[in-house]
Amino acid sequence: MNALNTMLLISDAFVSLCDEIPLRKVSISDIVAKTGKNRKTFYYHFENKDKLIIWIFRYDLGQVLKQHFSESVLLYEEPSDDPVARFPYYITQKSGVRSLDHAEFFQCFAEVLQGRRNFYRQALVDNGPYSLRNYLYALYLAAMKRDIDIILSNRYLPRENIDFLAEFYTCAFLYYYIRRCDQNGVENLAADCGPFANIIHSSLENEIKEAQMRRNL
């Protein structure tokens, strides 16, 4: 069995256990017992449960993104020993010189949470320093800053303004989906967006345009 298959076996066992008992109570001993492997095999691939949760998300998202987008628009981290680096986590899809249309990315993000909703609902409750929630914040904060640089396209905006916009919109998109994932009455996490599916980037673009206009007056 190759490394990827072993990691998938471990991750599927973990997700399955989370349907039987609360995620926080699932131990590494439980996981290895379900896989028929040993603790040495688990630790060879994953440092701890937090790393396993992150790997599951990145694997799930990577597969969905590859189904929806061509390789030319997919965004990867720099190559490294981290096993998640092989999976895309974001896109860069322009709709103009200074415009981005990432509506379909947000649909994909919601699709991933929907696919293992009980698992992700439990995983995203944790707000510890190494949790999935904080990992996603750091990952997409950097991505949002990159998007702002694309929208600016060599126009000037003070760094503190860029930092504010990136944090504000990263928190907005993550909290929206985290909250909907945890709401029992919400059947489709991506429903109701309608013509506002690209609201993060269209709003960013408009705010930057207005800031530039005020600066030039």
pLDDT-wise least confident of 53-57, 104-108, 143-147, 207-211: 207-211
> Among all chains, which residue has been given the structure tokens 């440092």?
47
For domain 1-46, say whether CATH 1.10.10 is its number. Answer: yes
Tokens found for residue 17: 């256990």
- How high is the pLDDT of residue 189? 87
**Pairwise pLDDT comparison (121 vs 215), residue with the higher score:** 121
DSSP states along 54-106: HHHHHHHHHHHHHHHS-GGGEE-PPP-SSGGGGS--EE--EEETTEE--HHHH
pTM here? 0.95
What is the tens place of the pLDDT at every residue in 136-189?
A: 999 999 999 999 999 999 888 999 999 999 999 999 999 999 999 999 888 888
CATH code, residues 49-216: 1.10.357
Structural domain boundaries in the chain: 1-46, 49-216
pLDDT band per the 50, 70, 90 thresholds, residue 58: very high
- How high is the pLDDT of residue 217? 43
Instruction: Give me the phi and psi of 127, to 5 degrees please.
Output: -120, 25
Torsion of CA 162, 168, 171, 174, to 10 degrees: -80
